[in-house]
Structure 1
């Protein structure tokens, strides 16, 4: 299927439910209170009834009935407080997956050497960013890109799910069209469409409106796409050097809400899906807590005679920080002691704290994580085994995500090698690598040393086994060298008499 040739709606209407949900998740992930108020209609209104929308029906009324949909009263300042737990969730998901770089191995040594250079060029930062974006929006795309003026090698680039129009076949990505806005002026919107098909990439520039794609225009008409004009062939495509599709889609988790929608059922699910009401309630709880603190400030209600005049026409004031006051010339009254009224409201700290902690635990549990992962269990030093036990739910979620990330990474790395050979040469053989994820929880050196010591005294492990256990990140060459050094230090590096050819 080529690029669009007519004026069609953009983005396509059948993606509207997914894009609306992604917009909601992105708003919570951004942590911007202004965007939250705009999303739920809670901005300060100018009408006589600021809560009119909350009594409306349909989608507008449903959104306005959220706490973030409560409008700020006229003449009042906004006192809503936002807890950025959505950002913590998505960032924690990325840390669980890519706190350590994954290992990519292929059979050909020349290809392995080149692959080591490609994966060492900032790839870990790209994967961490992609994992966080995928956790927020429900999925993310990875593609190889290159620029001969910037680098002598290609690299991976992450594309957000709300900037792609995918096409799935039997649950697998068959083609995808990425798009971006390169210019907006006088109501006109210029979009760059980049369509990926097996073996080729198609580029197109369109001049339309906010909701319509518009008509195609030459790539040379805008600097952002002029660079592709010279690269496309007669058929308007750029070959990738890879027979298959050079893009991988990594769904965050299995979709729930779109499982019966044909065009959307293969899209992933955000970690924030379903916990939006809980996050709304958490913000309301913390805002109520801060309101108690504001109201808990001691106030003194004084009669007007106690106010200090600021001069004719300048009203009067009361200085609450003044500690000593001069005597007042006034008639004594039997109830003079009641003329000063102290207002001191209670601050319900424990009630708010318990409510907030319960909401946070429920949010984490619904998203598939343990509270220990986010520091709710304290910072007491424990072994890696105990940490894994406490974070079992997080480790289970991490394992489910690795099942989706591993084949997608293997596919896109093979495409990266093919693009590298096509553009930069080098004589490599593109292969699909073996992907290994490192353990997110590492044993401390003292625990490993004690285990190795016990195994040695029990004659249950060799020196080679102990070295590999203490240093799991070492390769065979490093392990062999360390074994030889240990044997030399302990006087065990003696020749085998059966190998010398001489009998004792």
Structure 2
């Protein structure tokens, strides 16, 4: 396979429906009111739905913007990322030298932070791509691991397995011409192409030297003129679906956004808060006074009412005339009705996204709770986290295997590339007091060895560290003394 032909429609028809969904999810995730208005008012795929939406309604010219947006979508995506990677995953390989090099690559490349960011992107936009590449000017001694958003990729699948993927980006331009850089990852090589086209057409392919952002790539190209050999028999990119299946595109290998099917609730939440703020705006105290209370400021200068004036001249108003006095106008604010409605919508939206309401701050009074109580309260969130962790565990292992292989092939590191083991953990830190109480009860029942107790307390320790700690405990407690009975052999 090769890069697309000249004149290809862009984005390709194979990914256009997904891009349209991502555009809507991105508008909610970004929290940008202009994006929401654009999607519902102008985007053809959502225009029929926009008329009944809060953000699709036309605002009369000159009227102030009173609509309020609550960024619940972004909070849901952040919660997903925090549940997965708030604690750094433990990544290990068998060879000591390879482990040391892998630790260096993970730390220097900021991989833990990258995973946290990528997980939030995946939750909002249905998935994310992880890519291995290198830039000897930016990082002269190591390869790079980067994340690519799903609306900047065109993958190719075979029986649900990604065989190749083309990443693309729009480059800067001072004219109406749209410049696109395409980067196609295949097994063993990476192809680069520069295209000059329009908003919906890829246009014609031109030399990489035609644009300053791609000119430097020509020094790395091989004999074919458009490809860089990776030196490894692995694909240097992986796709991480957020969660499956994608209900809007049944049978497709794409992941499902946490926001899929939640847009109605997000719109209703904004509608509720907008109504609440309207009540507050209308409830501001206003005084209604007769014309006689207004003081003329002169020709063309109108009249005014001084609310601080204490003494007024006698006005020629019959004392029995209705409405002759000052009237206070102040409407009630329906606080509880709006609060209950908003909370109900938030609960339903959070549950529909796959999380417990407690995960985003509901049902909590700020009191300290144990890990067991957290697990019970956040059961739905923990189930969703467990599902997502399966996708991430496999993808991280695959891409780090490729990272080690590229490091050996391109940078000459003397390591044995192997597929690492990835432990994302259970997402709940056990309370030390609860752990100590459990160990004490099991010890009292003589149902636990010292070795097992150390492993429960220090799950991140290796066998040697555990053995040394057990020996110290036995020495301090006197359990290391030899058994006098064992000094005499049993009679045969």
Q: TM-score, normalised by structure 2?
A: 0.93
Alignment of 1:20-419 (within 5 A): 20-41=20-41, 60-121=47-108, 122-151=110-139, 152-235=141-224, 236-253=226-243, 254-259=245-250, 265-320=252-307, 322=308, 324-335=309-320, 338=323, 339-378=325-364, 379-419=366-406
Is the contact between residue 66 and residue 280 of structure 1 (CA under 8 Å) also seen in structure 2? Answer: yes
Structure 1, residues 186-219: CA drift from partner, whole Å, max 9, x if none?
A: 2101110000011100011111111111111111
Q: Secondary structure at the match of 1:181?
A: strand
Give the secondary structure class of the aligned counterpart of 1:13.
coil
Deviation at 1:78, TM superposition (A): 0.7
Q: After TM superposition, list the pairs within 5 Å mapping 1:418-437 onto structure 2.
A: 418-437=405-424
Q: Which runs of 4+ in 1 moved over 6 A?
A: 496-503
Deviation sequence 1:98-124 (CA, Å, 0-9, x none): 111112222222212211222223111
Cα-to-partner distance string for 1:240-288 (whole Å, 9 max, x where unaligned): 232121111011121111115xxxx111111111110110000000010
Distance 1:198-1:498 versus aligned 2 partners, 3 A rule: farther
Q: Distance in 2 between matches of 1:307 and 1:272?
A: 55
Q: Which residue of 2 aligns with 1:7?
A: 7
The answer to whether the Cα contact below 8 Å between 1:248 and 1:412 also exists between their aligned partners in 2 is: yes
2-structure distance, mates of 1:4, 1:490: 72
CA distance in 1, matches of 2:466, 2:322: 85
- Whether the aligned pair in 2 keeps the contact of 1:279 and 1:363 (CA below 8 Å) is yes
Deviation at 1:58, TM superposition (A): 8.9
Q: CA deviation at 1:76?
A: 1.3
Unaligned ranges ≥5, structure 1: 43-52
SS in structure 2 opposite 1:120? helix
Structure 1 residue 332, shift from structure 2 partner:
4.7
Give the structure 2 partner of residue 46 of structure 1.
none
CA contact (8 A) 1:126 1:157 kept: yes
Deviation for aligned residue 1:418: 0.6
What is the DSSP-based 3-state SS (H/G/I as helix, E as strand, rest coil) of the residue aligned with 2:441?
A: helix
Secondary structure, aligned partner of 1:363: helix
Q: Measured at CA, do residues 471 and 311 of structure 1 come closer, stay the same or move farther in structure 2, by a change above 3 Å? A: farther
Q: Which runs of 5+ in 2 are unaligned?
A: none
Cα offset for 1:159? 0.3
- Counterpart CA distance in 2 for 1:312 and 1:475 is 91
Q: 1:150 to 1:75 in 2, by over 3 A?
A: closer
Supply the RMSD in Å over aligned alpha carbons.
2.2
Task: Give the stretch that moved more between structures: 192-201 or 375-384.
Answer: 375-384
